[in-house]
């Protein structure tokens, strides 16, 4: 049997594309322009069947009979941004220990044996704004596997030894978090934007995971397993009417609870300047330039999306063309004005470059950001950005799984169900004037922070050459981490 | 999982159908059409009309194991070149550009000759030659339309556009709306037949950044490079795919062109298309474009066979990072009759929370955050390694990983696996194959790889027979044959505080 172990050397960091390209003069043949492109056959996948139970539970069902599998998820509102700061890591520990602990009927190890023997999965997860139970199985095993998922939802038994195991693994992650320069840079860049103590960026520490108790997990569970805060999505080889009945039988009895509060918070953005982490064992710098982004319900989101394509989207983007193709300064380069569903995303430009070209690459990135406001967008750039978005648009819904996932996302964040159609139409109508307007309104180089994680001794040109003041060292010390050695187990006593 | 072993993202695939009649070999016989063109190229078309899109996968039977001596990394370097356009795409005037590119090569050769002089190198002359080389590049650059090849693809809706080079082979792929099939066939055949070494030396800088990112600045990357260099003495699996920095930094466009000439011949490639395509309409289009690629002799197979290992080998790295451990044992290549037995061992040792390494090292002893064993590392065409990787928990050492792994290996040698473990392996192998059939890109990839490696895509489905035939006795026999001390190489990273001024990543220490 062949499994490819991918020692992969990707041709590019894939973000998304668009080009700044000179028009070819007439003497060079352009055979591709003669190739006919017939109209694409019309394709409108059925949206999922949407059912709302009296207790507020939303169900989305998408039949797909190509393969004999059923895949489902139950998403609950509430995630790590809602956990107490002193117990940061709670949701992560909860979502680990939930599944590994199991139910009153079968403990987690027994569930593992039972499910794996059927090549089936039931897993629990935790994210910044949600937790979940998901399952995947052959059609013939659906009754039993779905039964386990429901049992896990309604009758979990959180076990001390599994919480300890989850803490052990979390501790291993914490003490290793400074081993990879790229990981340090991504984490610290987000902290510069949202603040070190923000619910979106604060780090689990050895002390905060130690503070989490079995009771905390139970309380979190009771607080979040509330039907009016839950969405169920199922895709696969089933009959929707029969599945609806099964779900009604399983969940109609759940009592309604309090609605989960909408996210709040202050988002002032970074304190401008240069920030720096010295890492003596690397020969490449990770550079981030970051600022505050926006929300997807911003009416300018569509124009910003097109601007992103032109700026940092892919092989043809301004950033890629300049920093990688023209200057050869980086393999990985990209960025854009980020947008999240219910809180501001992050503006970021990122590249990894050899230590000696740290300042040069950073200057190139800053200059590309500045040019968003000074280098006029062209009709040519606009057309290519639109072509890319619109011609690949079908890949947003070319499988039933994608159709279901998109519908669930919009449901979860309270967006209109036709958001994708609106996105398509709005992108079609974006003009060069729109691009100029949003670039002027949202891009402000004076509000950005620059973060460099690299080997200072090899820089050559000092970071002060950036003209953004003295670099601020960032302390990435891991509080309470042991010096590595066989001193004993630090995870949890 | 807080972190993962990035080197080992294993795509699990094998066996075949449990249920749905529409998904067994006989149904695929009806949906899959193959054709070998007169120039030797093998084409595969798989009809899957779920949505009006298609994916393709081109596989060239040449990877970095085929890099000539002194040119490690050239197969990968060529892969990057394949995005730089053709005689038609990416240039304002190819005839004039060709003249300019030839001058770049001449100027670089003059510089390179001086640069490599062991005695009597003239630094002033070197500077002048480098300036001439830069100037020649500037002249050639005037004809370049940068990234036009990818821009045409992406403007036409290509997604997932990318390529990879492994030690065994090179792979190109993307997905597109199905009304762009002809455009794709034109572009793909053109870049295979007519690549142009455009912006070569700047792209070489980009690839050097890729090496810094994946290997030099990554603790696992560094360890794995040393591990493989120690494990292999003769076979090119001892070289990093991306190349040694000294060789990578001196590769020339002329060398890349020679690599292309030798290995990118139609007889050395398979191209598969899967999606909303009809074979009777698609095959003539593919024939028109791909049939025009000139034939060439299929490259000779490699003569080097790794000699039997005679003693245990080791590498101990000291670094200011958390400890890691890896060990490996030489095993035969993928054609070996016991290949499915190694797959069984991998599954039983590593697949999920029921696996032995998870239960022993992670759950029960709690010495490791992560532990797994995997077959066919660093690649599969030639005899690879069966390797074990573990990341110790805080306070535990690589030596403890070694001891714990050996204990599990000894158990495998002396005691039969259980009926449940063996049955679980076989069931999961079937289901994993089936799950992979609902995705155009995955389908195209698997059909192309199996066609290339076995000469018949049907082997993708027939593997299940070999998997079903695996017995408990096979597992013990293969474990006893393979997992012996003299066949073992291990590498570990031990923590050592950084020298010089105290670095910030160090902890304040001491919460014992």
Predicted confidence band of residue A315 (pLDDT cuts 50, 70, 90):
confident
State the number of CA atoms in the 13 A half-sphere of A395 facing the CB: 23
Q: Give B416-420's long-range contacts (Cβ < 8 A, gap of 24+).
A: B416/B472, B416/B473, B416/B475, B416/B476, B417/B344, B417/B348, B417/B472, B417/B475, B420/A113, B420/A117
Is the confidence at residue B508, as pLDDT, over 50?
no
Higher-confidence position of B500 and B398: B398
Higher-confidence position of A415 and A484: A415
A484 to chain B, any CB pair closer than 8 A? The answer is yes
Q: Which tens digits make up the pLDDT trace of A54-66?
A: 999 999 999 999 9
Is residue A301 within 8 Å of A3, Cβ to Cβ?
Answer: no
Q: Which of B428, B507, B512 is best to mutate for the A interface (most A CBs within 10 A)?
A: B507
Using CA coordinates, name the residue in chain B closest to A329.
Answer: B206
A28 to chain B, any CB pair closer than 8 A? The answer is yes
Is residue B243 within 8 Å of B64, Cβ to Cβ?
Answer: yes
Interface touch A331/B207, C-beta < 8 Å:
yes
A107 to chain B, any CB pair closer than 8 A? The answer is no
Using CA coordinates, name the residue in chain A closest to B370.
Answer: A169
Using CA coordinates, name the residue in chain B closest to A332.
Answer: B210
pTM score, whole prediction: 0.92
A227 to chain B, any CB pair closer than 8 A? The answer is no
Interface touch B11/A69, C-beta < 8 Å:
no
pLDDT recorded at residue A313: 82
Is residue A14 within 8 Å of B23, Cβ to Cβ?
Answer: no
pLDDT recorded at residue A16: 27
Interface touch A1/B466, C-beta < 8 Å:
yes
Interface touch A483/B158, C-beta < 8 Å:
no
In chain A, which among 108-137 make CB contacts under 8 A with chain B?
108-109, 112-113, 116-119
pLDDT recorded at residue B22: 58
On chain B, the residues whose CB falls within 8 A of the CB of A277 are: 504-505
Report the share of chain A in percent with pLDDT over 70. 92
pLDDT recorded at residue A482: 74
A25 to chain B, any CB pair closer than 8 A? The answer is yes
B147: which residues sit within 8 A by CB, 6+ positions away? A19, A21, A315, A316, A320, A321, A325, B83, B90
A387 to chain B, any CB pair closer than 8 A? The answer is yes
Predicted confidence band of residue A27 (pLDDT cuts 50, 70, 90):
low
On chain A, the residues whose CB falls within 8 A of the CB of B23 are: 67-68
Interface touch A277/B80, C-beta < 8 Å:
no
Q: Which of A5, A24, A403, A451 is best to mutate for the B interface (most B CBs within 10 A)?
A: A5
pLDDT recorded at residue A481: 87
pLDDT recorded at residue A2: 57
Interface touch A67/B503, C-beta < 8 Å:
no
CA distance B218 to B238: 19
Task: Give the mean pLDDT of chain A.
Answer: 92
CA distance A158 to A218: 7
CA distance B291 to B286: 7
On chain A, the residues whose CB falls within 8 A of the CB of B467 are: 1
Is the confidence at residue B14, as pLDDT, over 70?
no
Interface touch B397/A486, C-beta < 8 Å:
yes
Domains of chain A: 49-251 (3.30.830.10), 273-473 (3.30.830.10)
Q: Which of B57, B146, B242, B331 is best to mutate for the A interface (most A CBs within 10 A)?
A: B146
A2 to chain B, any CB pair closer than 8 A? The answer is yes
State the number of CA atoms in the 13 A half-sphere of A307 facing the CB: 29
| Whether the domain at B37-91+144-290 and the domain at B308-436+461-495 fall into the same CATH topology | yes
Q: Which tens digits make up the pLDDT trace of B204-221?
A: 999 999 999 999 999 999
Task: Spell A144-175 as b/e; 16+ CB within 10 A means b.
Answer: ebbebbbbbbeebbbbeebbbbbbbbbbbbbb
Is the confidence at residue A13, as pLDDT, over 60?
no
Q: Which tens digits make up the pLDDT trace of B48-82?
A: 999 999 999 999 999 999 999 999 999 999 999 99
pLDDT recorded at residue B195: 96
Instruction: Give B53 to chain A, closest Cα distance, Å.
Output: 8
pLDDT recorded at residue B13: 29
Task: Give the mean pLDDT of chain B.
Answer: 92
Predicted confidence band of residue A88 (pLDDT cuts 50, 70, 90):
very high
Is the confidence at residue A492, as pLDDT, over 80?
no
Domain B308-436+461-495 has CATH 3.40.190.10: no
A290: which residues sit within 8 A by CB, 6+ positions away? A189, A190, A192, A193, A270, A346, A347, A348, A349, A448, A449, A451
Instruction: Give A254 to chain B, closest Cα distance, Å.
Output: 31
Query: Regarding the domain delimited by B37-91+144-290, which CATH topology (the fold level of the hierarchy) does it fall under?
Result: Cytochrome Bc1 Complex; Chain A, domain 1 (3.30.830)
Is the confidence at residue B4, as pLDDT, over 80?
no
A4 to chain B, any CB pair closer than 8 A? The answer is yes
pLDDT recorded at residue B507: 39
Is the confidence at residue B7, as pLDDT, over 80?
no
A161 to chain B, any CB pair closer than 8 A? The answer is no
Q: Which of B76, B370, B449 sits opposite A9 (nearest CB)?
A: B76
In the predicted model, what is the mean pLDDT of residues A414-443? 97
A291 to chain B, any CB pair closer than 8 A? The answer is no
Q: Which tens digits make up the pLDDT trace of A217-226?
A: 999 999 999 9
On chain A, the residues whose CB falls within 8 A of the CB of B399 are: none
Using CA coordinates, name the residue in chain B closest to A112.
Answer: B354
In the predicted model, what is the mean pLDDT of residues B455-474? 96
Is the confidence at residue B225, as pLDDT, over 80?
yes
In the predicted model, what is the mean pLDDT of residues B143-159? 96
CA distance A141 to A135: 11
ipTM: 0.90
State the number of CA atoms in the 13 A half-sphere of A162 facing the CB: 22
Q: Which tens digits make up the pLDDT trace of B75-129?
A: 999 999 999 999 999 999 999 999 999 999 999 999 999 999 999 999 999 999 9
Is the confidence at residue A360, as pLDDT, over 70?
yes
Higher-confidence position of B509 and A149: A149
Interface touch A481/B432, C-beta < 8 Å:
no
Is the confidence at residue A6, as pLDDT, over 90?
no
CA distance B349 to B371: 9
Report the share of chain A in percent with pLDDT over 90. 89
Is the confidence at residue A21, as pLDDT, over 60?
no
Higher-confidence position of A205 and B509: A205
State the number of CA atoms in the 13 A half-sphere of B386 facing the CB: 26
pLDDT recorded at residue A28: 80
Predicted confidence band of residue B509 (pLDDT cuts 50, 70, 90):
very low
In the predicted model, what is the mean pLDDT of residues B402-422? 98
Domain boundaries along the sequence of chain B: 37-91+144-290, 101-141, 308-436+461-495
On chain B, the residues whose CB falls within 8 A of the CB of A316 are: 147, 150-151, 154
Q: Which of A18, A25, A395 sits opposite B159 (nearest CB)?
A: A395
Is residue A365 within 8 Å of A469, Cβ to Cβ?
Answer: no
CA distance B227 to B51: 45
Q: Which tens digits make up the pLDDT trace of B168-201?
A: 999 999 999 999 999 999 999 999 999 999 999 9
Is the confidence at residue A207, as pLDDT, over 60?
yes
Cβ pairs bridging A and B (under 8 Å): 395
Predicted confidence band of residue A483 (pLDDT cuts 50, 70, 90):
low
Report the share of chain B in percent with pLDDT over 70. 93
Q: Which of B14, B182, B497 sits opposite A35 (nearest CB)?
A: B182
In the predicted model, what is the mean pLDDT of residues A229-240? 97
Using CA coordinates, name the residue in chain A closest to B89.
Answer: A30
pLDDT recorded at residue B207: 95
DSSP percent split of chain A into helix, strand, coil, nearest 5 = 45, 20, 40
On chain B, the residues whose CB falls within 8 A of the CB of A119 are: 427-428, 430-432
Using CA coordinates, name the residue in chain B closest to A393.
Answer: B157
């Amino acid at each position: 049997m062949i499994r490819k172990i991918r020692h992969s050397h990707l041709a590019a960091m894939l973000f998304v594309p668009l080009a700044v390209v000179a028009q070819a003069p007439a003497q060079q043949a352009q055979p591709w322009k003669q190739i006919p492109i017939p109209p694409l056959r019309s394709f409108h996948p059925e949206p999922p069947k949407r059912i709302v139970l009296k207790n507020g539970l939303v169900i989305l069902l998408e039949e797909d009979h190509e393969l004999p599998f059923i895949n489902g998820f139950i998403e609950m509102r509430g995630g790590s941004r809602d956990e107490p700061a002193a117990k940061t890591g709670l949701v992560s520990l909860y979502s680990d220990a939930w599944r590994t602990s199991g139910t009153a009927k079968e403990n987690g190890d027994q569930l593992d044996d039972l499910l794996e023997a059927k090549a089936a999965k039931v897993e629990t997860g935790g994210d910044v704004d949600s937790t979940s139970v998901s399952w995947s199985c052959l059609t013939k095993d659906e009754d039993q596997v779905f039964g386990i998922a429901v049992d896990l939802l309604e009758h979990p038994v959180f076990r001390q030894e599994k919480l300890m195991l989850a803490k052990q693994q979390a501790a291993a992650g914490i003490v290793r978090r400074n081993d990879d320069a790229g990981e340090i840079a991504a984490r610290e860049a987000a902290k510069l934007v949202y603040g070190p103590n923000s619910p979106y960026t604060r780090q689990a520490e050895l002390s905060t995971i130690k503070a989490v108790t079995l009771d905390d997990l139970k309380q979190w569970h009771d607080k979040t397993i509330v039907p009016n805060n839950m969405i169920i999505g199922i895709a696969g080889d089933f009959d929707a009417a029969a599945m609806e009945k099964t779900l009604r039988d399983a969940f109609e009895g759940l009592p309604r609870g309090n609605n989960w509060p909408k996210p709040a918070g202050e988002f002032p953005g970074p304190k401008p300047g240069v920030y720096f982490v010295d890492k003596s064992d690397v020969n490449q710098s990770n550079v981030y330039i970051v600022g505050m982004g926006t929300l997807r319900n911003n009416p300018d989101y569509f124009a910003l999306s097109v601007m992103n394509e032109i700026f940092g989207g892919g092989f043809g983007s301004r950033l890629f063309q300049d920093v990688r193709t023209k200057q050869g300064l980086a393999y990985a380069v990209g960025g854009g004005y980020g947008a999240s569903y219910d809180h501001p995303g992050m503006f970021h430009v990122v590249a990894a470059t050899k230590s000696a070209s740290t300042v040069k690459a950073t200057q190139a990135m800053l200059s590309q950001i500045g040019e968003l406001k000074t280098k006029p967008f062209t009709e040519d750039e606009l057309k290519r950005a639109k072509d890319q978005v619109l011609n690949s648009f079908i890949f947003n819904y070319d499988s039933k799984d994608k159709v279901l996932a998109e519908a669930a996302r919009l449901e979860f964040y309270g967006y209109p169900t036709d958001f994708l159609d609106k996105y398509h139409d709005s992108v079609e109508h974006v003009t060069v004037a729109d691009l100029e307007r949003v670039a002027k309104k949202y891009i402000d180089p004076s509000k950005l922070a620059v973060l460099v994680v690299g080997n200072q001794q090899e820089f050559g040109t000092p970071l002060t050459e950036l003209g953004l003041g003295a670099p601020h060292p960032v302390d990435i010390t891991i509080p309470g981490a042991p010096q590595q050695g066989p001193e004993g187990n630090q995870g949890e006593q | 999982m807080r972190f993962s072993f990035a080197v080992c993202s294993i795509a699990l695939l094998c066996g075949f159908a449990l249920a749905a009649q529409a998904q067994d070999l006989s149904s695929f016989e009806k949906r899959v059409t193959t054709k070998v063109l007169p120039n030797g190229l093998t084409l595969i078309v798989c009809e899957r009309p779920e949505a009006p899109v298609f994916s393709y996968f081109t596989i060239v039977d040449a990877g970095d194991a085929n890099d000539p001596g002194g040119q490690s990394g050239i197969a990968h370097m060529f892969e990057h070149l394949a995005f730089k356009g053709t005689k038609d795409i990416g240039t304002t005037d190819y005839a004039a550009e060709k003249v300019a590119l030839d001058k770049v090569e001449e100027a670089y050769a003059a510089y390179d000759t001086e640069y490599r002089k062991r005695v009597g190198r003239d630094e002033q002359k070197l500077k002048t030659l480098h300036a001439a080389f830069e100037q020649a590049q500037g002249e050639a650059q005037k004809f370049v339309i940068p990234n036009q090849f990818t821009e045409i693809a992406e403007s036409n809706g290509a997604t997932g556009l990318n390529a990879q080079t492994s030690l065994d082979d090179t792979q190109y792929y993307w997905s597109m709306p199905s009304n762009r099939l002809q455009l794709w066939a034109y572009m793909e055949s053109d870049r295979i037949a007519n690549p142009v070494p455009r912006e070569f030396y700047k792209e070489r800088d980009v690839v050097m950044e890729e090496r810094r990112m994946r290997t030099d600045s990554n603790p696992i990357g560094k360890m794995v490079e040393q591990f493989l260099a120690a494990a292999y003495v003769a076979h090119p699996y001892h070289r990093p795919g991306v190349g040694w920095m000294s060789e990578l930094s001196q590769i020339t466009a002329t060398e890349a062109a020679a690599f292309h000439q030798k290995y990118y011949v139609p007889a050395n490639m398979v191209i598969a298309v899967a999606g909303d395509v009809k074979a009777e309409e698609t095959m003539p289009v593919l024939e028109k474009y791909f049939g025009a690629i000139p034939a060439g002799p299929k490259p000779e197979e490699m003569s080097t066979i790794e000699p039997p290992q005679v003693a245990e080998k080791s590498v101990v790295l000291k670094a200011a990072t958390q400890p890691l451990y890896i060990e490996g044992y030489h095993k035969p290549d993928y054609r070996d009759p016991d290949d499915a037995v190694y797959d069984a061992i991998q599954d039983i040792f590593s697949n999920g929370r029921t696996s032995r390494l998870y239960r022993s090292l992670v759950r029960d002893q709690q010495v490791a955050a992560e532990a797994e064993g995997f077959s066919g590392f660093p690649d599969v065409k030639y005899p690879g390694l069966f390797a074990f990787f573990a990341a110790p928990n805080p306070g535990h050492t690589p030596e403890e990983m070694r001891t714990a792994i050996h204990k599990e290996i000894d158990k495998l040698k002396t005691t039969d696996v259980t009926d449940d473990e063996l049955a679980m392996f076989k069931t999961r192998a079937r289901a994993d194959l089936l799950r992979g059939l609902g995705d155009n890109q995955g389908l195209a990839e698997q059909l192309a790889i199996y066609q290339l490696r076995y000469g018949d895509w049907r082997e993708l489905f027939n593997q299940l027979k070999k998997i079903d035939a695996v017995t408990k006795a096979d597992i013990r026999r293969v474990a006893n044959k393979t997992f012996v001390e003299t066949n073992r190489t291990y590498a570990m990273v031990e923590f050592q505080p950084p020298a010089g001024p105290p670095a910030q990543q160090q902890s304040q220490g001491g919460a014992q």
